[in-house]
């Protein structure tokens, strides 16, 4: 879990290494220490959770956001993969406990994606909420 003192540990981020400051470094440390597959690129951290993708980013004119992406079935596909991805996506989005905006991206034929956008006003709130949601999802559903 994340504790308040964790946020004070890192005072500066490292440009180009997925951190704008301490709280995102705390998130990345949590992900690494708990075996989550993730990537950090610029100011974006991407977490792979059971076929779903969860991104933390600062979006222009929106602010801090968690974007969760769910690949939707199209034609003949792996049912098990899509069920696991839907469970991961739904549990993370629901456990964040905030208003959600949804959109379907069908810009690439044959690869429709459902995207959920959850906006946060505070980076520490975002990190704490996401850590709680990821921890609880893993506790309830195990490794995705």
Residue 66 exposure: Cα atoms within 13 Å on the Cβ side: 31
Helices (H), 10-144: 22-33, 79-96, 123-141
> From CA 15, how far away is CA 21, in angstroms rounded?
9
Give me the pLDDT at residue 39, please: 93
Give me the pLDDT at residue 115, please: 97
Residues whose CB is less than 8 angstroms from the CB of residue 127 and which lie 6 or more positions away in sequence, other chains included: 2, 7, 23, 24, 26, 27, 56
Higher-scoring residue by pLDDT: 138, 19: 138
76 pLDDT tier (thresholds 50, 70, 90): confident
Q: What residues does each domain of the chain span? A: 4-141
Give me the pLDDT at residue 15, please: 39
From the CB of residue 54, how many other CB atoms can be counted at a distance below 10 Å? 25
């Amino acid at each position: 879990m994340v504790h308040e003192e964790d946020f004070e540990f890192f005072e500066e981020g490292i440009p180009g290494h997925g951190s704008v400051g301490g709280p995102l470094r705390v998130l990345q440390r949590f992900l690494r220490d708990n075996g989550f597959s993730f990537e950090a690129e610029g100011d974006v951290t991407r977490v792979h959770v059971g076929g779903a993708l969860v991104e933390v980013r600062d979006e222009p004119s929106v602010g801090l956001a968690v974007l969760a992406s769910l690949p939707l079935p199209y034609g003949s596909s792996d049912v098990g993969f899509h069920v696991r991805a839907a469970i991961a996506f739904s549990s993370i989005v629901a456990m964040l406990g905030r208003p959600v905006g949804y959109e379907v991206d069908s810009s690439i034929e044959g690869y429709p994606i459902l995207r959920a956008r959850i906006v946060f006003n505070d980076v520490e709130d975002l990190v704490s909420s996401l850590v709680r949601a990821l921890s609880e999802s893993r506790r309830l559903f195990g490794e995705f």
